[in-house]
Amino acid sequence: MTTSPADLIFITGSTGFIGSQVTVLALEAGYRVRLSVRKEQQIQKLKQLFHQFVSNIDFVVVPDITSPGAFDSVLDGVRYVFHLASPMPGKGADFRSEYAEPAVRGTETMLSSADRANSVEKVVIMSSVLALMPLGALGAKEGIFNESPKTDLSIDLDMEFPAGPEGSGAMYQASKILAHQATHAFNKTHKPHYTLVTLHPSFVLGRSLVQHSAEEIDGINAFLWQSLQLETPFFPPAWVHVKDVAEAHLKILELDIATGEEFVLSGHPFTWDDVATFVREKYPEVNTKLQGPFDPSITVDSSKAQKTLGFKWRTMEDMLVDVYESTAASAEEIRVYLSRDPEYRRLDELQQKGWSNPAGDHFFAERRYKSDNASKAVQRSLLGMMINIGRDLQGKIGAFDLPSNGDRPVILDLCMAPGGLVTFALEVNKSAKVDAFSLPSVKGGHNVMINYGPQDERVKVKFMDITMFAEEFGSPVDNKHHLDWTSLRQKWPYHTPHYDLVICDGVPMRGQNLDDNAISVQPMRLTCAELYLGLKKIRRGGTLIVLLHRINNVRTFRIIKMLHGFSSVQVFKPTKSHAIRSSFYLVAKNVQSDSSACLRAMNLFKTVWEYATFENTSQETFRLCTELTLKEQSLSTELEEFGPWYTELARPVWRTQADALAVASFTQNHDAAS
């Protein structure tokens, strides 16, 4: 088939791991591309990513790819279509609405619109080898899978799935099966005028263009990192390099291929023993826990693609090198450094036990369910728990001892519900007054359980989302900047200029109605909003209480390092309520809120909030966000200077969590099973 470099390719899913590589390869080959995005804000990010080729890129916004005719108006002049957009595992809990319907309808919409576009000659659908095997087959010890399924692959839309990662993976696979069946049905029923080809990659690994730090890593690259820290990996050694998948798309354009053809894409066979040997020799600092010999597993037969498309697959070693060198740096640096401490090593070993035991997933899934569906009695219990946490914070580090300057103490709580910390703060500071915020219940917020009212002179509560005070961040907005731009215009309701104590103990609520991007950045967005507003409102010499997570996390390391530069920092982990979890409290006393170090930190927190809220991708934003490892940066210098102090600070937190995990049911079950 004759192709021209000037031919126009329409691509969905270009913001993803595979789609971004497909786009780059097409542009490097001289093709023009038209990229479909869901939101206007994504365009600037893609322009930055593909900056060398912007003159050969068109952008179109298609908010809902499942809407009939969604692509009708954007395929003019398009010769080829690459359809890669699909829901990913972990992006929802409802199979029908969040997996099956988007996958099936998105595919059907693309196929239908392409059939109505006379210029389209070839459509390539990105499926998965999972679409060719029954649910549960991944864990089998034998079986050969190729382009021809050997069993019936019927899926019940009302079937139930287990909670946690296992269920997310099964829902993803089921959606792929249904989407592939929809492709078959469309081709058989409508007999479109274009050539239709389907690609079925196995587990796709390699360098990511869209995940720039170890903390952003997800998908199969994340599975690999997790498996390297387990004795037994949880996915089979059937991998394909992301660049091979991208090249397959372009090979399809160059060859005369019959419509309806399918190709399984998977590299040369190898075993997990091979992986363990290579990683230990090449990257001993990873300290992989893999322990062979490993059970046999399924085989993916990609001989058809190798013969027809003329592939020389990249090797297992190529994939491992690319994944390691593109994502390891800062997260691995801090892990290796902290591993010098025996308390951290003990915690790390116990966490690996929990992660490798499905009972751990069920334990935390049950906790999340109880929290999201709390009865009145449970909510009252939560209030009591928070009061006790306040009592412990006071007893251990005097967190609520406010500086006396002769004025009435004033307290700001940025995420109040259920109100336990405020309740205890008022016990210690009986003359204090409180200004507070709590997320509205209609947005998923918890109930405020303390007594207050319009006439209550001590406590004022406003039910508002604190991440939406754009004016406080100095960020003017309109409908071009954010889908919920009217909420971003809300005004700060209090007139107190500065506070003696600021409490920042919010957590993202699972009940909030957020899109995929918002869900992924909401924890960072909320933390940075709280820190910026807290530092902006705190009095010089005041106290800041912050709920943080994962003290061995790079981002947490840098937040604490910054706060240490202009305050006296202590940390505390409640031994009863938070022991088994990663959360802990940071108390920063004598905050020098007018210092240059504080102002620099505020500027960073503000910039990260803007990045997460508006997807701001300016060069200045990227430079500043590097400091919180939104983009990669080495930690070596910081660890040598700050690491000893940080290890001393973190050791009690590690010890508390390790003691709790040591007696947890899911680590005990792991020992019994071993």
In terms of C-beta density within 10 A (0-12 exposed, 13-18 middle, 19 or more buried), how is residue 152 classed?
A: exposed
Q: Which residue has the tokens 């049905």?
A: 185
Of 64-78, 581-595, 630-644, give the lowest mean pLDDT range.
630-644
Q: In angstroms, rounded to a whole number, what is the distance separating the alpha carbons of residues 35 and 46?
A: 9
Res. 444: pLDDT tops 60:
yes
pLDDT higher than 70, residue 433: yes
Report the Cα 492 to chain-centroid distance in Å: 30
pLDDT tier at 511, thresholds 50, 70, 90: very low
Q: Which of 358-367, 540-549, 570-579 has the highest mean pLDDT?
A: 540-549
Residues 93-147: pLDDT tens digits?
Answer: 788 888 999 999 999 999 999 999 999 999 999 999 999 998 888 777 777 888 8
Give tens-digit pLDDT for 28-42.
999 999 999 998 888
Return the SS3 of 268: coil
Output the pLDDT for position 92.
Answer: 64
Phi, psi dihedrals of residue 170, rounded to the nearest 5° = -70, -40
Whether this prediction's pTM lies above 0.75 is answered by no
Mean pLDDT of 341-366: 76
Which residues have CB under 8 Å from 438's CB, separation 6+?
415, 416, 417, 445, 446, 448, 461, 462, 463
> Which of 91-105, 140-154, 541-555 shows the lowest per-residue confidence on average (mean pLDDT)?
140-154
Label each residue of 306-369 as H, E or C.
Answer: HHHCCCCCCCHHHHHHHHHHHHCHHHHHHHHHHCCCHHHHHHHHHHHHHHCCHHHHHHHHHHHH
What pLDDT was estimated at residue 357?
A: 64
* Between 627 and 577, the higher pLDDT residue: 577
**H-helix or E-strand spanning residue 549:** strand 538-549
Average pLDDT over residues 617-642: 61
pLDDT tens digits along 354-388: 765 666 666 666 766 666 666 778 778 888 999 99
pLDDT for res 79: 98
The helix (run of H) or strand (run of E) holding residue 169 is: helix 164-190
Q: What is the mean pLDDT of residues 395-400?
A: 95
State both tokens at 159.
């079937």
**With bands split at pLDDT 50, 70 and 90, how would you rate the model's confidence at 671?**
very low
Please check whether residue 383 is in contact with residue 418, taking contact to mean a CB–CB distance below 8 angstroms: yes
- pLDDT at position 151: 65
Contact 547, 505 (CB under 8 A): yes
Q: What is the pLDDT of residues 250-269, one digit of tens each?
A: 999 999 999 999 999 999 99
* CA–CA separation, 383 and 367 (whole Å): 16
* pLDDT > 90? residue 148: no
Domains delineated in the chain: 8-205+240-266+299-309 (3.40.50.720), 341-372+634-674 (no CATH), 374-633 (3.40.50.12760)
Tell me which of 90-94, 145-149, 247-251, 622-626 is least confident.
Answer: 622-626
User: Could you give the percent of the chain with pLDDT greater than 70?
Assistant: 83
Nearest to 22 by CA among 303, 334, 267, 251: 251
Q: How far is CA 446 from the centre of its chain?
A: 23
With 0-12 / 13-18 / 19 or more C-beta atoms within 10 angstroms meaning exposed / middle / buried, residue 503 is buried
Q: Is the pLDDT of residue 69 over 90?
A: yes
**Higher pLDDT residue, 414 or 406?**
414
Q: What percent of the chain has pLDDT over 90?
A: 50
Confidence (pLDDT) at 214: 44
> What are the tens digits of pLDDT across the range 445-488?
778 888 765 556 889 999 999 988 989 998 776 544 555 566 78
Report DSSP state, residue 98: I
- With vertex at residue 195, the alpha carbon angle to CA 25 and CA 19, rounded to the nearest 5 degrees, is 25
What is the chain's mean pLDDT, rounded?
A: 85
Q: Is pLDDT of 155 > 80? A: yes
- pLDDT number for residue 309: 93
In this prediction, residue 593 carries a pLDDT of: 96
Lookup result for tokens 């013969």: 307
Given a cut of 50, whether residue 622 has pLDDT beyond it is no
pLDDT value at position 94? 83
State the average pLDDT over residues 212-224. Answer: 60
Which secondary-structure segment (H or E) carries 528?
A: helix 516-537
Sign, CA torsion 665/668/673/674:
positive
